[in-house]
Every structure is written in structure tokens, then in C-alpha cells.
Structure 1
Amino acid sequence: MDRFRATAAAHPGRPALRGPSGPLGYAELDRLTDATARRLPRPPAGGSGRVALLCGHDTGAVLGVWSALKAGAAYVPLDPRLDDARLAAILSDAGAHAVLCDAGLADRAAALAPALPVLSLPAVGEDARTAPRSAREATDGPAAPGSSSPVADDMAYVLYTSGTTGAPKGVVQTHGNVLRHALTYATRLCLGPGDRVPLLARYSFDAGVMDLFGALLTGACLEVVDPTTHSPASLRTALADAGATVVHCTPTVFRHLTGPTRDGDVRGRGTGGTALEAVRVVVLGGEEATGADAASFRSVFPSPCVLVNGLGPTECTLALQHLVRPGDALRASLPVGLPVEGVDALLTDGSGRPTEVFGELVLRGTAVARGYWQDPGRTAAAFTADTDGTPLYRTGDLARRLPDGSLVFCGRRDQRVKIRGQWADPAEVEKLLRVHPTVGQAAVVTDRQPSHGPRMVAYVTSPTFLPPDEDELLGYLGRQLPDHAVPARVVVLDSLPVGLTGKLDRSRLPAPPEAGPGPEAPRTGTEEEVARIWCEVLGLQAVGLREHFVGTGGDSMHLMEMLARIEDELGADVMVGDFLASPTVESLARLVEDDLGTR
């Protein structure tokens, strides 16, 4: 609080916040949040209390954060896009003592928290002291902002995240760590009064924490922009109109930003594009970034601009960063870099012993969160301490150390899957798909239907207007991976689904079409004979003319048996490599006929 008040006092007339609802200067933002904090009820005796915030992606979310903190409470952000059952569960778990919300969400807030006081935030330009009050206002006396400044170890927020496991957990972070992460972020990016920082991430995600506090503690202007409401061209226009100097987003949003317009243009300057000449740094985080992202960077952003990739889980907002170099465009994955100041990055094996080259990423330092709210079991599993008492956080991320010491993200510890008794890594398959020239984005998931056991399914998009070919991609993977690690299907989508965080939402990927007879049955005598042998080897009733060998359950043992029977029964000697180039009944029949025709 002291840092924010000092910044507001130093820059009272400078723009602090702009959003769809209008602009606020630093002096006005300070005054409005002071007045709103006074309206909040006092926290329960003996604690700081928690204020739930129900706000859309606009200036109200920022007002709510600072108002709750000034009232001496931790804030619990709620995303109104979530369903009521999820929001009610978070409210119950967090034990909030009040709800602060956008005026338009007051009725919903009252229904979600019938036993709590609900207060509406003032609109931009409105005096908080005379703002319309909700039907259920506090009656036990307001808090007095500034009467007792928080100390470093006081709780600042409880941020609920489902992580990769799907189970929500509330990450507890302190005032001291919020300040530490914000100032580290601001120092590394040289944030200051001349900057305009788009708030692309919602306030309920840790990426939003970095921008919200990093901008408003340094005199920069925070520009609230919703990327989900824009096409690639209009998002570039929105950022240009905002005068953005620093753009921080997930790789998924970045790919949307650099994606083609309707006429196919992806350039930041020229027909169909908008110049982003003011942008001096782009920061990626939240999910894996690729060499293709580095290659597309210059198509939109000016030459002086730099690209930074990084890693920072909700449990340690800013942990590693990497300044992307031209040669990184040739990598499958961009490095996430070296630890930032105050954070150590360790690698450990499956037993928790230190390793040097590859292992689970463990973050060490006082900047890690204090654990999960009211969840001692998961806290004990993820948060431990070094021998000297320094906090440790097991991220669950796998990483590889490069010769220069920087780290490369290698997937999640818990995403590997056993297929036919052997381990396979979906992240490895994703990397191979992303470097294929016909693939734009790729996601590989595990499908566990009882009818066929565990299998991997790949989902891909095209970087152009021509869709990738499933058979070609499966053949490409089959030449580089063991047969058990080749996905059963490759499903081509127009785009991959994006969740509320701006990251890929794997839960919304459509179910793959089940294997079975294709649209065309065998047509010639050779195709009928090949299909018969194929089905007998794999135990199938029928096979489609263009179904992929792996997709129908084939592996290397089945392959050798099938080609041996082709030679014994049809007299054709088919080479393994020739078949794997396009492993379908149609292609195999053609190879048989070609071999017999040359004799």
C-alpha cells in the first residue's frame, strides 16, 4: 500500500487506468479506492479477512483489488464467466466476509452469497461515497484504510486455480511477495511512467497480477483489453490505439495476435495490419512457446522490439525468463530461461534427488507462495523447505538444462501415459507435430475409453488455408517415434479451444471419431486381399480403404507379421519404410501391385 500511495502522490495527474468504462488518473484512482475501502465491513476479529471480488474485465476489477487491500483484507477474485456452482464453491472455501462487485453483477453476487454483505463498486467518474448501494450493505461499521499498514507476511490474495489436475485450489500469496514479483517484473522490463501496459489476462489469473501491480506501482498506465472479443486484425488495432509499449500474454493469445486476417495478411504493417511501433517488449508465459512463435514475432512487431519467454506458476508468479534470440526460431520449444532475482531453479529426479540435466523443476526462495488455502494435504505435497529453511515448491513441470544453464520446458510430470506397457509422452509428440510445415498448433491428449484402452489422440490446426493430411502426419510421426508413441488419430480442427485463462483448454477438445470402416471399402482384388490380411492380423471385422495402420491398433510386431503374410500369400516383397510413408490399405495394395509388376 505504501508503494502505491507514493506512486499516486508522485504522478497524480498521469493516466493510471483505462478500460471500456473510461479512464482514471492516479489521484482519482487513489481517492476512489480509499472511499470504497471505507465502505467495506471490518474483517472478523483476529484476522485480516477476505473480500471476494466479482468483476468483469474492466476498470472495476482493478478498483476492487486496491479497495480490498486498502481495507486491510486479502482479495479473492471471482470470474463471472464461471458457472454459479463453481463460484459458490470458491466463496464457501475462501470464507470471505464480504463481496465487492460491479454494479451490474450485484444481484448475482447477492444470490451467490446470501449471508454476506454485498457492495457495488463506483463507476468511473462517480464519487464512491454517493455510489448506489446494493440491497444488502454492510451494517457493522466500515474499515478504515491506512489505519494499520499490512506487513510483508500478511495475506494479499487467495487465487483459485484448477492447475493441470482439474481440482481447484486456492494459492495464498503475501504482500511481500506480490511486491517482490511486481518490482522484479517492472525492473526487468524497465517499466515506468511512459509505459502503457495492456491488461490482457483477467485479474483472477497470476499473469494479470504481474501487469496490474507492475504497472500501477511504477507510474505506468494499465490498459484493460479483452483479447477474446477481437479478431487478429482488430486486436492489433486495439493495442495500437492503446499505445501499448509492453505486451504480456500466453502463446495462444500471441498466436491469435500474429494470426492471419481474412485476406491472409499477418504483417503488423501494410494492408490488413496495424503498426505496433510503440511496442518495445513482448512477454510470453503460461504455456509452452515454440520456435514458430519466435519466427512469427517479426511479422507483427517492429525491429527494436524484443521477445521474452518465461515460466512462472501461480505458486511463484515470476520464476524464469529468457531473452529470445534469432537462432531460437529453429528450436521446437523456446527456452524458459534462467531464474530471476531471488529465485533458484533446481532439477530433481523421481525420488527428489538433485539432478543436473533433466528432471522436475523445483523453485527455491522466499518468493514462492505460502501454500494452498485450507488444504494441508496438497500443501505438504507441493511445498517443502530446504535444509536451511528456505521454501521449496515442486512445480510438477519437467525441464532440461541447456549448456548455458537456461532451462527448456519438457512437459508435465503427470502427463506421461503407458500404452501397451510402455511410457509415452504427449508433449514429445506435440513438439514433433509443431515443426511439421503443414501444422500450426498441436495438442496431444490421452483417450482412455474402455473399448480400446489408453491411446493418444492428436489435434492440429493449419498455418494456412489448406488443412493438414492425417495420413501424412501419422506417417511422419511413425518414422520418428516408436509405434506405441504414435497417436491413434490425428484430428484436424479450425482452431484449438481456449479456456478462460487464454490457454489451450484440453477439456473442450472434441471426442475423436471412432476407428471403423472408412468412407470407401476396398475396390480391387488386390485391395480386398490386403484388407483381409490386415484384418486377420489385427483381429478386425473390417477396415476402411484409407484408415491408418496405427489408428486401427497396429504396432511394429503386427507390421512385421502382416508384411510377412503379404509376401507368403501374395508374393510381394514390400519394404517397411515404403509402407510407413503412407500406411493404409490403399497404399499397401499399390505397393503390392508395383512390386509384382516389376517382376
Structure 2
Amino acid sequence: MMKPVFGSTMQGLTLSWLAERNAYKFPEKEAIVLTPVEGGRTAITNATFDKRINQVANGLRRRGIERGDNVAVYTVNSIPTLEMYLGAMRIGALPVPINHRFQADEVRYVLEDSNAELLFFDDHAVDIVDEISTDPAMPDETLFYGKDRPDYADDYVDFREQSGTNSIEIVSSRVDEAMLMYTSGTTGDPKGCLLTHDNIIQMTVNGIVEKALEGRDVNVDGRGLIVTPLFHIAAFGMFVNNYYAGATTVLMDGFEPNRVMDVIEEEAVTAGFFVPMMARALLAVDGFEDYDLSAFEEFGIGAAPSGRELKETISEAFDADLQEAFGQTEMAPTTTLLQPSQALDHPDSVGKPVLNVLFKVIDPKTREEVEPGEIGQVCYRGPTMFNGYYGMPERTEETFDDEGFFVSGDLVRQDEDGFVEFVGRADNMIITGGENVYPAEIEETLHEHPAVDEVAIVGTPDDTWGERIKAAIVPIDGGEPSADELQRYVGERLADYKKPREFVFLESLPRNPTGKVLKAPLEDEAGEMVGWES
């Protein structure tokens, strides 16, 4: 059995210490199983994972990376991705995940903004890195994982295997910064959020406690599937959830519905998280009913509205607990959870605030708290709250109020029982005919229409109304809803002034590299005007 090595300066629970702990307590258990979209399987035990983290930590130190330095990671989901994350953390350096869908200018921005000392990239990113390889933003140190290594980068496997395996003294404390995670940049350039070890671990603790309060067990032998990208805090948080519990992470490098269903069956997956678009694709897989889903216990969903019909279909088809999560990068990220016992009774809610997050809703203008049922800007405080934006002291200061609450850009409505409904982004609110309209409410309504797959609501300038409401619709395959039909559908369920007056039908919605819908391009799409007499 491995002998534990505890750094003399370690103060409290850190992410990299979890690797030492799991290697000591569960050395031969699978830590990570990589099941690529194109097929195959690679597994790594807790003991081997911890050994590799030490190798990466030693190698980074040899390359001059020190505590507080930033290490950029521009890769698809892989075992080396997580090795680099935790290897950097072990010496007090900060991994900086870069969205693997970013193009050259976006990658250059993150490298410059973060002052990265090293770039780790893979063969999925090589074309983009080639384009900026001689740019001043490129770090002096570069490591490559994959085939056909470019001559300006060193081989990652050689780097790792040629480094020592001796345990690095863990210099981090739980309140030290652990990683620099960039926001998705839906309303401007991405901002680097400084998250501590404690921020991320307390997020996991919140989830465990919330599960216990529901009377559900934490599955130490669980096998949690991650298909969403590790450059996003939600996916990395899922890995930490698995790892903290001593469970196994089943990792995929992309989303392909048939392959995901195969992996769920073959790996006896017990839990997974999917955005609504993914959930619909899984349910549409040919032969869905023939898959063995007997091990599957929990279906997590979030990042976009899902609605009652989809929730009911998921619960029945997977015969699993359905849990919805809501939050943002600055809160590491989960702030509310809709538990399985609540999901079908409150399908339009994102749940209640988790245990260790204080929560208030304020009027955006007066900054006073609003009454239950009123729409306002949501604010958070608690141990999962980030340390601030990297290199942006003024922006950080204005983000917090006098009581130390983080003031988000999200608009919500909280009822008297504490359930929270996401209404939209403050900067996406539409004012039409003097009335405030929140896109999420209309989007949720249209999602329930049987011919609508995806929808986005935007406001566009109008001489009469100030702004008119425009709906961008992606029909379900074979569906052909008309603009008049959809407007009547909304009018039967919501106030007249909330009916879209313009409709545009698309094959897909524009999205940023994180997968979030980009609404600005939709404002310029020419659509069909309907219902102006009403």
C-alpha cells in the first residue's frame, strides 16, 4: 500500500490532496475511464493518476513554473487534461482552461490576458496554435499531446515520463487560488475568474449535503459520465464531485448520441449531466428502449430551459432521479438545485439555493431587495464565491455590494417557498410598449410546442413599440409550425404584449464556443411579421 505523504505546509483540504487521498484509500480503483467518441477505452487507476500528477508537477517545476504562475490548457477532454490541471495545482500554479472551440484571436486573447507561462495543447488545437505560434502572446514553454507534434513544441508524454515521481510538497492552502477559469463571454470578452480550492470543494460539499437532505445516498462506487467540456467549470465541478466521493469518472471527448448511449450501457454509468439539447438527442436515438439503463440513477440537466414535458419524458425514459442545476462561473458554479422530489412539481424552477449560498434578489435600480414573486437581479454570498476577476480590480470591486454579495447579471423570480425561476439576463430584457418582457418566459412557453426543438427570443428596434419581440425557431425534424400558429400558442398562455411579432425559422441557433446561444446575430435576421392587428 502506498505510504501517504503530507506536505508540512498544507493547510486544509486542497484539490491536489484528493489525489493523494484516493491513491492511498482506493489505489486500484479506476479514477478516470476515457471513452472517445470514435471508440475505444483507456482507464487509469487512482494510484497511477496520483503518480502522474507528481510527474507533471516535477516537470513543471523543472521548466521554471512556480507558485502563482498560470498554465494554459487548450485541449479536448482527456486524461492528460486532468493530469495537467492537478499537476499545476500541486505546486500552487493555476491551470487556465481554454475553450477548445476558440479560434486564433480568442486563444490569443486568453493567453495575453492570463499572462500564461506555458501552453499545453493537443492535436485538435494544432492548426490554431500553428497560426499564432510566432505571436508575442505565445508562452516560451509549450507542450503537445497527440500525433504529429509540431517542431516548436515538446512532447507531453516524454515530458511526463522523464520527470521524477517523488511527491511534491503541497504548498497550497484551501484558500489559495486553484485555477483561472474564464467566463463564456456572452456579453463581451471573457473574464478570468479566480477560484480557490475551497470554492470548488465547497461546491461539492453543497451537493453532497443537498443529496443527504433529500434522503439520497452518495455512491462511492458510482460512475459519473462527463460529456461536456472540462474547460467549463460545470464539467470540472462534476469531476471533483466524482473524485471527492472516491467514485470513477467516465470521460468523453465530445457528444455523439449513439456513442453516449453505448457508453452508458457498457460502463454501467450511474449518473450524467446533459444540456436540454443533448437530452433530446439521446431520447431520439434509434432503439433507445433496447439499452440496458439499469445502473443509471441520476440524470442531471441545466444550462438552458427544459420545461415540464422534457423533464417528464426524461424521468420516464431513463427511470432515474432528475436534478436541475443553475449557477455561474463566479460561484464555482452551482447556486441552486431542483431536486428529484421537486422537479415535476416545479418544472419551470431551477430549484432552491443550496445550503452554503446566501441568496437575495434586488431591484437593479434601487439595489433594495424585492418582495417574493417580483423579478430582480440575483446576488450571492458564500464560500463558493470567487476571489475576483484576474487583472480587473475595478470591475471586481463594482461586482460586489456593500454587504459582500456578488451581484450577478441574472434576473430571477423567487416565490414565497424559496423556489427560483430564471427569467433572463439583465442585458437581454426587452422593453416593448413600455412593458418589461423577459425572454426566458417566452422561450419556456414555446419549448412546450410539439413542433419546436429550440427557440431564442430577442428584441429588435421598432418605431411604434420601441422594441418588438422576435422569435428565432428551430423546428423539430419533420415539424412545420407556422408563425401564426406559434403566436396564437403564446397568446393563449401569456399576456398579449409578450407575443412575438416577428418569427424567423432556422436550421440551428448561433452559439458561442461554450454552446450558449448568441442572441446579437439573431437581431439582424430577417423574419416574418405576424399579428400586428392585435
Per the normalisation by structure 1, the TM-score is 0.74
Which stretch of structure 1 is more off in the superposition, 283-292 or 494-503?
494-503
Q: Distance in 1 between matches of 2:165 and 2:46?
A: 22
How far the C-alpha of 1:323 sits from its partner, in A, is 1.3
Whole-Å Cα distance in 2 between the matches of residues 330 and 506 of structure 1?
30
Q: Decide which of 402, 418, 422 is 1:409's aligned counterpart.
A: 422
Letter in 2 for 1:117: E
Q: Give the aligned partner of residue 577 of structure 1.
A: none
Does the 8 A contact of 2:362 with 2:370 survive in 1?
yes
Aligned to 1:337: 351
Offset of residue 505 of structure 1: 4.2
Go from structure 1 to structure 2 and tell me whether the alpha carbon gap of 1:409 and 1:200 turns closer, same or farther (over 3 Å shift).
same
Q: Does 1:68 align with 2:88?
A: yes
Do the aligned residues in 2 keep the contact of 1:8 with 1:219 (CA within 8 Å)?
A: no
**CA-CA distance at 1:511 after TM superposition:** 5.0
Distance 1:130 1:414 in 2: 43
**Superposition map of 1:42-191 within 5 A:** 48-102=68-122, 108=130, 110-111=133-134, 113-120=137-144, 131-132=157-158, 146-186=168-208, 188=210, 190-191=217-218
**Take 2:296 and 2:313, find their aligned partners in 1: how far apart are those partners?**
15
Q: 1:30 to 1:442 in 2, by over 3 A?
A: same
2:239 maps to 1:212: yes
- Provide the C-alpha distance between the structure 1 equivalents of 2:165 and 2:294, rounded to a whole number of angstroms: 45
Match of 2:11 in 1: none
| Whole-angstrom distance in 2 between the partners of 1:514 and 1:441 | 16
SS of structure 2 residue aligned to 1:373: coil
Output aligned runs, 1:263-282, within 5 Å. 268-270=288-290, 274-282=291-299
Please state how far the C-alpha of 1:278 moved relative to its aligned partner.
Answer: 1.2
Aligned to 1:548: 530
SS in 2 for 1:96: coil
SS at 1:6's partner residue? helix
Are the aligned partners of 2:195 and 2:387 in contact in 1 as well (CA < 8 Å)? yes
For 1:308, the aligned partner's letter is Q
CA offsets 1:69-122 (integer angstroms, 9 cap, x no match): 123201101123210111111111111222233377576485565442113459
Q: Which runs of 5+ in 2 are unaligned?
A: 1-15, 148-153, 212-216
Contact 1:461 1:493 in 2 (8 A): yes
> 2:3 is matched with which residue?
none
1:475 maps to 488
* Inter-CA distance 427–80: structure 2 relative to 1 (3 Å threshold): closer
SS of 1:334's partner is coil
CA deviation after TM superposition for structure 1 residue 423, in Å: 3.1
Which one is further off, 11-20 or 180-189? 180-189
**Residues 445-485 of structure 1 deviation map (CA, whole Å, 9 limit, x = unaligned):** 22349999743221224456332121111233345556554
Partner AA of 2:184 in structure 1: S
User: What are the superposed Cα offsets for residues 153-211 of structure 1, whole Å, 9 maximum, x if unpaired?
Assistant: 21111111134413311111011112211333345454444111111221111111211
1:30 is aligned with what amino acid? D
Measured against aligned partners, the alpha-carbon deviations of 1:223-259 in whole angstroms (never above 9, x if no partner) come to 112453x13x44322322232111112223223222x
Match of 1:28 among 26, 44, 48: 48
Structure 1 residue corresponding to 2:249, chosen from 222, 231, 248: 222
| Partner Cα distance (2:155, 2:329) in 1 | 35
Q: Which residue of 1 aligns with 2:399?
A: 382
Of 226, 229, 249 in structure 2, the residue corresponding to residue 199 of structure 1 is: 226
Is the 1:71–1:144 contact (alpha carbons within 8 Å) kept by the matching residues of 2?
no
Instruction: Report deviation, 1:409.
Output: 1.6
Identical amino acids, percent of aligned pairs: 23
Please name the residue that 1:15 is paired with: 30
Determine if contact 1:50/1:95 at 8 Å carries over to the other structure: yes
- Bigger Cα Rg: 1
What is the CA–CA distance in structure 1 between the aligned matches of 2:110 and 2:453, rounded to whole Å?
36
Q: State the distance in 2 between where 1:417 and 1:143 align.
A: 57
Matching residue of 1:537: none
* Equivalent residues of 2:357, 2:381 under 8 A apart: yes
Partner in structure 2 of residue 254 of structure 1: 279
Q: Aligned partners of 1:376, 1:450: CA distance in 2, in Å?
A: 40
Distance 2:402 2:62 in 1: 35
Distance (whole Å) between structure 2 residues aligned to residue 121 and residue 439 of structure 1: 41
Which of 296, 312, 316 aligns to 1:295? It is 312
* Counterpart residue number, 2:328: 313
Question: Does the 8 Å contact 1:50/1:73 carry over to 2?
Answer: yes
Worse overlay, 189-198 or 23-32:
189-198
What letter is aligned with 2:244? L
Q: CA RMSD in A?
A: 3.4
Of 69-78 and 502-511, deviating more is 502-511
TM-fit CA distance, 1:27: 0.8
Contact 1:79 1:204 in 2 (8 A): yes
5+ long unaligned stretches in structure 1:
516-546, 551-558, 560-579, 581-599
Residues 458, 523 of structure 2: 8 Å contact kept: no
| Contact 2:325 2:350 (C-alpha < 8 Å) held by counterparts | yes
- State the alpha-carbon separation in 2 of the partners of residues 120 and 244 from structure 1: 31
Distance across 1 between alignment mates of 2:527 and 2:302: 35
Q: Which residue of 2 aligns with 1:562?
A: none
SS at match of 2:446: helix
Query: How many residue pairs were aligned?
Result: 494
- Alpha-carbon contact 1:286-1:311 (below 8 Å) kept: yes
Q: CA deviation at 1:15?
A: 0.7
Question: What is the Cα deviation at residue 275 of structure 1?
Answer: 3.0
- Alpha-carbon distance change, 150 to 42 in structure 1, aligned in 2, over 3 angstroms: farther
Distance 1:498 1:277, change over 3 A: farther
Aligned pair partner of 1:441 in 424, 438, 454: 454
Q: Distance in 2 between matches of 1:104 and 1:478?
A: 47
**Structure 2: how far apart are the matches of 1:105 and 1:31?**
27
Matches of 2:408 and 2:280, distance apart in 1: 26
Provide the rounded CA distance (Å) in 1 between the counterparts of 2:508 and 2:65: 51
Cα separation, 1, equivalents of 2:245 and 2:184 = 31
Q: How far does residue 321 in structure 1 lie from its aligned partner after superposition?
A: 0.9
Equivalent in the alignment of 1:239: 264
Counterpart amino acid of residue 195 in structure 2: Q
Q: Aligned partner of 1:199: which letter?
A: I
Conserved in 1, the CA contact under 8 Å of 2:91 and 2:171? no
Indicate the larger mover: 493-502 or 454-463.
Answer: 493-502
Q: 2:119, 2:139 within 8 Å by CA — same for their partners in 1?
A: no
1: CA distance, partners of 2:229 / 2:473 = 27
* 1:151 partner letter: S
Q: What amino acid maps onto 2:313 in structure 1?
A: S
Q: Is the 8 A contact 1:456 1:488 kept in 2?
A: yes
- Choose from 429, 438, 447 the match for 1:425: 438
CA spacing shift, 1:450–1:65, aligned 2, 3 Å: farther
Who is 2:8 aligned against? Answer: none
| Residue identity matched to 2:363 | D
Give the TM-score normalised by structure 2: 0.82
| Aligned-partner SS, 2:401 | strand
Deviation readout 1:428-453 (Å, 9 max, x if unpaired): 32233223344343221223499997
Shift of 1:5: 0.7
Tell me the alpha carbon deviations over residues 124-157 of structure 1, each in whole angstroms, 9 at most, x when there is no partner: xxxx9993359xxx9xx99986324301221111
